[in-house]
Amino acid sequence: MNENLFTSFTTPTMMGLPIVVLIIMFPSILFPSPSRLINNRLVSLQQWLVQLTSKQMLAIHSHKGQTWALMLMSLILFIGSTNLLGLLPHSFTPTTQLSMNLGMAIPLWAGTVVTGFRYKTKASLAHFLPQGTPIPLIPMLVIIETISLFIQPVALAVRLTANITAGHLFMHLIGGAALALTNISASIALITFIILILLTILEFTVALIQAYVFTLLVSLYLHDNT
């Protein structure tokens, strides 16, 4: 049992050395590269999943946007696998760290914005003012649109961090409560345990959904700018 609720979120060390980089690189081992024309079942299943996701995600993009296919697919696979691996007991989830999520969100968002200003400068500047705005409201709306633009990477990162951290904390709390209640009342402990199982199922879906939402939003920002 951890000393307090937040020890599972501290960056892990082994014999004094930080191993967080190894933990971040670990999910890549779980995705074998296809090396033959017709692969084994696992690799074929992986290829089918990646093809399904990439077709759905890249259907809306222009030719320029589709050059980001590798980046978007890597992003969804990385975040999804990292979140799912974090549901193993006593494991460390890199996506609970705001620094890591900002490290993913800021370069990708800035990449989309710079792409927009580079290839479609007028259209990118036009995004700061919605169509049909009354003239007296223009200055205020430009300020609001600028703020909403700069909030996008922060929102991306904080959304992922908060969802995953809150889920893990909640599971920790409910698990602790179920354990404490076994000595007090078996029936209430059983109800708490059922709640814990339902919460775990919810966390599996949240892990996948948050990966999809992060990637979809980056894809939408790219679509707006290409």
In whole angstroms, give the CA distance from residue 80 to residue 161: 13
What are the CA-CA distances from residue 97 to residues 10, 31, 63, 92 (Å)?
A: 9, 23, 34, 10
Q: How far is the CB of 106 from other proteins (least distance, A)?
A: 4
Position 158 contacts other proteins (CB under 8 A): no
Q: How far is the CB of 55 from other proteins (least distance, A)?
A: 19
**What are the φ and ψ backbone dihedral angles of 128, each rounded to 5 degrees?**
-75, -10
Position 32 contacts other proteins (CB under 8 A): no
Residue recorded with tokens 């590798």 = 70
Find the binding residues for other proteins in span 65-124 (CB under 8 A): 67-68, 70-71, 102-103, 106-112, 114-115, 118
The dihedral of CA 51, 56, 59, 62: what is its sign? negative
Position 62 contacts other proteins (CB under 8 A): no
Q: How far is the CB of 11 from other proteins (least distance, A)?
A: 16
Position 34 contacts other proteins (CB under 8 A): no
121 near 128, Cβ under 8 Å? no
The nearer residue to other proteins, 6 or 150, going by C-beta atoms, is 150
The nearer residue to other proteins, 92 or 109, going by C-beta atoms, is 109
90 φψ region: left (φ > 0), alpha (ψ -120 to 50), beta (else): left
The nearer residue to other proteins, 21 or 135, going by C-beta atoms, is 21
Applying CB under 8 A, which residues contact other proteins?
Answer: 67-68, 70-71, 102-103, 106-112, 114-115, 118
